[in-house]
């Protein structure tokens, strides 16, 4: 049993080793293409290992789950290596989010940044990234001038829909009774009956 656990742990450590780039002798070797190639070879080996008839039920269950999760996440796991300074681990991502949050708090003087995040959503990180680039604000303005009005309208509509979804989720989590009462009132106005369906 202990040998099986060690073996399964080695599979997890190996994939971590692929993503952390410690296999490279120089930073230039760590590219999306190379990480993707190594990761695909790893997934193929893991798949063969899990499907082998001598595997125990526990190994098939645990490593099968690992294979399923990694295969599902595969499209998004290897796109960060060609962008310098892009957070590659969960800890780095949390630090980046915390820095954005602290920056907003310093500007606004507020302790809570929920309203800001609800209003601007994913654009918050995008704007912050541009501001940290050399001559970033000018580059951002130049880039925005190239955007067609139809494309801008499409993104604006998409952003508003995301904003409304986040806002509804926020309202439901923080004031569920008020939110449900407003839904009932809207239902009554729509049907004109004042009676909810069974």
Specify the pLDDT at position 113. Answer: 74
Specify the pLDDT at position 40. Answer: 94
Q: Which of 18, 20, 25 is nearest to 44 (CA)?
A: 18
pLDDT beyond 60 at 195: no
Give domain limits for the chain: 2-77, 87-136, 147-198
| pLDDT one-digit tens code per residue, 102-127 | 888 887 787 777 777 767 766 777 77
111 CB-contact burial (10 Å; exposed 0-12 / middle 13-18 / buried 19+): exposed
Residue that wins the pLDDT comparison between 69 and 166: 69
Token representation of residue 178: 């008020």
Q: How far apart are CA 1 and CA 146, in angstroms?
A: 61
| pLDDT one-digit tens code per residue, 6-56 | 888 999 999 988 888 888 888 778 888 898 999 999 999 999 999 999 888
**Tokens 């839904």 found at:** 183
> What global pTM score does this model have?
0.53
Count of Cβ atoms closer than 10 Å to residue 155 Cβ: 12
Q: How far apart are CA 16 and CA 35, in angstroms?
A: 11
Task: Return the half-sphere exposure (C-beta side, CA atoms, 13 A cut-off) of residue 118.
Answer: 12
Q: How far apart are CA 10 and CA 7, in angstroms?
A: 5
């Amino acid at each position: 049993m202990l040998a099986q656990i060690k073996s399964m742990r080695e599979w997890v450590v190996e994939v971590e080793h692929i993503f952390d780039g410690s296999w490279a002798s120089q930073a230039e070797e760590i590219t999306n293409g190379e990480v993707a190639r190594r990761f695909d070879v790893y997934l193929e080996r893991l798949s063969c290992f899990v499907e082998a008839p001598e595997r125990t039920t526990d190994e098939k269950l645990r490593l099968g789950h690992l294979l399923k999760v990694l295969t599902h996440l595969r499209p998004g796991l290897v796109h960060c290596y060609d962008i310098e300074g892009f957070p590659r681990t969960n800890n780095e991502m949390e630090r980046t989010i915390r820095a954005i949050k602290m920056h907003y708090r310093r500007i606004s003087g507020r302790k809570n940044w929920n309203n800001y995040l609800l209003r601007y959503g994913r654009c918050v990180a995008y704007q912050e990234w541009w501001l940290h680039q050399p001559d970033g604000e000018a580059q951002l303005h130049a880039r925005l001038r190239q955007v067609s009005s139809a494309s801008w309208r499409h993104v604006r509509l998409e952003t508003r829909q995301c904003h409304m979804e986040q806002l509804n989720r926020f309202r439901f989590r923080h004031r569920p009774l008020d939110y449900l009462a407003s839904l009932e009132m809207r239902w009554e106005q729509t049907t004109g009956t004042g009676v909810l369906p069974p």
